[in-house]
Amino acid sequence: VSVAAAETYPDDLKYHREHDWVRVEGDEATLGITWFAQDSLGELVHYEPPEPGSEINKDVSYGEVESVKAVSELISPLSGEVLEVNGSVVDAPETVNEDPYGEGWLVRIRISNPAEVEDLLDAAAYRSLIAEQ
Amino acid sequence: MQADTLQRTPLHDRHVALGARLVAFAGWEMPVEYAGVISEHRAVRADCGVFDVSHMGELEVEGPRARDLLQSLLSNDLDRVQPGEAQYTLLTNERGGIVDDLIVYSIEPGRYLLVVNASNRETDFRWLKERELRGSEVSDRSEEYALLAVQGPRAFERLELPAERPFTWSMDLVDGIEVMVNRTGYTGEPGCELMVPAEDASALWDAVVARGATPCGLAARDSLRLEVCYPLHGNDITPETDAISAGLGWVCVLEKEFTGVEALRRIKEAGPERRLVAFVMDERAIPRAGMAIAEGGEVTSGTHSPMLDIGIGMGYVPAELAQPGTSLTIDVRGRPRRARVVRKPIYQREG
């Protein structure tokens, strides 16, 4: 039985309004879904990742996650090339519920349009966004 | 989906207090999960869970010809049911299609209780009412009652009630509350459904939870029933699907006369063209209702099995593909994923 993480939105991450987070490291970025997203979905039981090497595009679906009841598209916060998929989450999707910003990351990409980073929200802006929902 | 137009059960405040996620279901605002569907599901398989199923309909049929009316409309043989007993049966249309599946309880000679699906309550009531005989009176008692399903291997022990045999009922007390104990359920586990007047619902819920039953929502109810291949009306069985193709021939007594029996005899004689099968995914994917099966047919129910940790489902396939072991290909939003027909039930407790 998985242990749900406590609600947090770390200040060192950037956020997309479709409830993804981004950790920018130079020209690379790690993507995942926020605490809010995993809490809305409930315990995840499936992660359908993109192919390593494929291109993903900002605001477009790059994969899916599923709970027992629901399917949710993963909307990419940035455009780029998929460098790595988190195989541990493919094998144990509940990792996302347990540690959404750490072990529960979903993909690592090479950013193709660094200007897109400017469009992302900071933690405070994302918190106000979800407060309205 | 307007929350203010949805009906609420007498236990609505209990669900809110427990932090349940509430959803619209068949016109009702119902708890879909509390702590989480997977832990709720496993609690029922391992110990005991309680579900508010007060949205289900209760219809009563009374009078000297109550039995005649029901015998002419229901597929199973009511003569096999004595007062104190219950029976799973189908309300069928002229084509042998399934108007609803339900449980009929024999209360006393000339008095029967039908527990029907929430989404079909009005249809069923009208269906019976329009066919009433002189000497049979059909009434909708749904508003008067609450129904709590207490399910799991420790259900009777936790309630301190005698287990008795399934498909029987009796009046008993749970912590001083008088309940109708119906030894039926929708999970594949031992257990009962407790019927009480609506005003006793909260006290009974509190007593059952205090006795250690885990509050469970509709999501666990669905994953539990699908693991044991109990059909869901509206998905796996509908007025357009017949009982033989659905694998429910065992509740159709074709030697008696009832609505649609000629159609069912013909389908049985010729052999159904398609069959409702159970399948498991051989690749990582979760089948969902409405997905196409490449070899022919469609998924009618699908989920992730919390006990087996794989995708499972049911669907109609051409009869020649109904043999256990047959490979199927499920179209998962454009991705072909391999599945395999298995014997029902998909999940069975070891030993």
As a whole number of Å, the CA-based R_g of chain B is 20
Q: Which of A42, A46, A64 has its CB closest to that of B36?
A: A42
Q: Which residue of A has its CA nearest to B285?
A: A46
Half-sphere exposure for B108 (CA within 13 Å, toward CB): 3
ipTM: 0.89
pLDDT at position B243 is 97
pLDDT at position B351 is 57
pLDDT at position B318 is 98
**Token pair belonging to B55:** 């949205």
pLDDT at position B350 is 77
Mutate to test the interface with A, among B34, B37, B232 (most CBs of A within 10 A): B37
- When pLDDT is cut at 50, 70 and 90, the band that residue A133 belongs to is confident
pTM here is: 0.95
With 60 as the cut, is the pLDDT of residue A88 above it?
Answer: yes
Which residues of chain B, if any, have pLDDT below 70? Answer: 1-4, 351
pLDDT at position A131 is 92
Mean predicted confidence (pLDDT) in A93-112: 97
- Contact residues of B toward A, CB < 8 A: 21, 32-33, 36-39, 41-42, 219, 222-223, 284-286, 288, 303-304, 306, 309, 311, 333, 335
Question: Between chains, do B288 and A71 touch, taking CB under 8 Å as contact?
Answer: yes
Contacts of A50 by beta carbon, 8 Å cutoff, 6+ apart: A56, A62, A63, A82, A85, A107
**Chain B nearest C-alpha distance from A114 (Å):** 31
With 50 as the cut, is the pLDDT of residue A1 above it?
Answer: no
Q: Which residue of A has its CA nearest to B301?
A: A69
- In order of B111, B232, B327, the CA distances from B252 in angstroms are 22, 17, 30
Q: How far is the C-alpha of A117 from the C-alpha of A107, rounded, in Å?
A: 16
**Strands B49-52 vs B214-216: parallel, antiparallel or unpaired:** parallel
pLDDT at position B110 is 97
**Chain B nearest C-alpha distance from A51 (Å):** 13
pLDDT tens digit string along B229-283?
A: 999 999 999 999 999 999 999 999 999 999 999 999 999 999 999 999 999 999 9
pLDDT tens digit string along B269-309?
A: 999 999 999 999 999 999 999 999 999 999 999 999 999 99
**Chain A nearest C-alpha distance from B80 (Å):** 39
Which residues of chain B does A4 touch, with a Cβ-Cβ cutoff of 8 Å? 36
**Chain B nearest C-alpha distance from A24 (Å):** 31
* Dihedral pair phi/psi, residue A82, rounded to 5°: -75, 120
